[in-house]
Amino acid sequence: MEKLLASSSSSSIIKREISTMKLIRHPNVIRMYEVMASKTKIYIVLELVTGGELFDKIASKGRLKEDEARKYFQQLINAVDYCHSRGVFHRDLKPENLLLDANEVLKVSDFGLSALPQQVREDGLLHTTCGTPNYVAPEVINNKGYDGAKADLWSCGVILFVLMAGYLPFEESNLVALYKKIFKAEFTCPPWFSSSAKKLVKRILDPNPMTRITIAEVIENEWFKKGYKPSVFENEDVSLDDVDAIFNESGDTQNLVVERREERPANPVSMNAFELISKSQGLNLSSLFEKQMGLVKRETRFTSKCPANEIISKIEEAAAPLGFDVKKNNYKLKLQGEKTGRKGHLSVATEIYEVAPSLCMVELRKARGDTLEFHKFYKNLATGLKDIVWKSGDETKEEANDGVRIVSS
């Protein structure tokens, strides 16, 4: 994993994330093994987690059975309780930040918004408003200071609800309306929740942090204790000297690495005949499996006779008004949405291939976020790209009123 040091503010955020992960040694938290640095980049070696996001499991199943949801919730509470014991508060807990390893053991990740003890003010509270709106505690939105442990537990309660219900307890398209629901804890448990599960969820999603149940009380709750296995691990003393040395730019760190310079390609990647055929609808067998499994298509492509650099400029121009930030790496682009959607920020990976000296193919693939939002985004983007999309004469006549033709796979 590699992170760029773009500014002093981003550098401090990255240092906090690295420091936090180095402090944590728990079986339900992603482990960081090593930190290295070059003059411009920080490289961190993390535990390999291959089971995907817990969010994907909810998306595919709709909702989990109560016993399965409880198992993941127990592991989540174990991880969060341990983090709090080390003075670390996550502040952005949500299913997308909960990963599963090959044995379906839950691993908490993404400490980018975490808080360390030194961020607590004299009143004993945190004061930075952060997190994902649907999962954030009401006192965080209030901007009057909040207890990081109690705010994290609220997010755990929302996650528990989502695991068992398959949908969010608080959801509104309008942010003000959403916050009103959160302030009042205005939600209803579905009928398939057991009475003991309902009681626990309501005690966690108490809008008053002073009367909200604590993690210690959650662990003693009868519903929670069913089949509960406390975490088994060894406490380790962890030094942050190597992290400090890297960010202080002292040059004394033994973890300094030298990067091998890669020459920038003069042209986009060339696509040979076999690769081009594999993209065609007639010989692409993946469509058979997609239809059978009922999957929504997640990528699209178009061709253009414009030079690759002009295509990149046009994509940048078309994406900016739609609220997307564009990051370029040679002839690959990453379009990152600024607004949070149904499944977090929409991220679109784009690559330009050279099919022939005067013909490029542009492929756009949903890297993260909601597939329907991806379709809507591409439809809007296509309007801004219609001047560079190549069509045959017949297509031009047929699609005069329809804009750009989308070729999905």
What would the DSSP string read from start to end of 33-46? Answer: EEEEE-SSEEEEEE
User: Is residue 34 within 8 Å of 256, Cβ to Cβ?
Assistant: no
**What pLDDT shows up at residue 198?**
94
**What pLDDT shows up at residue 260?**
61
Tell me how far apart the terminal alpha carbons of the chain are, to the nearest angstrom: 29
Residue 153 has pLDDT above 80, yes or no: yes
Q: What are the structural domain ranges in the chain?
A: 1-48+238-261, 52-230, 269-408
Residue 161 has pLDDT above 90, yes or no: yes
- Active-site pick, 81, 92, 147, 206: 92
How confident is the model over 258-280, as a mean pLDDT? 61
Alpha-carbon gap, residue 166 to 169, rounded angstroms: 10
189 CB-near residues (< 8 Å, 6+ apart): 161, 165, 197, 198, 201, 202
pLDDT category at 60 given cuts 50, 70, 90 is confident
Q: Between 65 and 19, whose confidence is greater?
A: 65
**What pLDDT shows up at residue 399?**
47
Indicate if 110 belongs to the active site. no
Q: Is 377 exposed, middle or buried (0-12, 13-18, 19+ CB in 10 A)?
A: buried
Q: Between 381 and 292, whose confidence is greater?
A: 381
CATH hierarchy code of domain 52-230: 1.10.510.10
Cut 0.75: pTM above it: no
**What pLDDT shows up at residue 231?**
81
286 CB-near residues (< 8 Å, 6+ apart): 409
Q: Between 259 and 402, whose confidence is greater?
A: 259
**What pLDDT shows up at residue 331?**
83
**What pLDDT shows up at residue 257?**
61
CATH hierarchy code of domain 269-408: 3.30.310.80
User: Is residue 290 within 8 Å of 374, Cβ to Cβ?
Assistant: no
**What pLDDT shows up at residue 71?**
94
**What pLDDT shows up at residue 75?**
93
Fold classification of 1-48+238-261 (topology level): Phosphorylase Kinase; domain 1 (3.30.200)
Residue 402 has pLDDT above 80, yes or no: no
- Among 128-132, 228-232, 263-267, the range scoring the smallest mean pLDDT is 128-132
Do strands 407-408 and 269-270 pair parallel, antiparallel, or not at all (unpaired)? unpaired
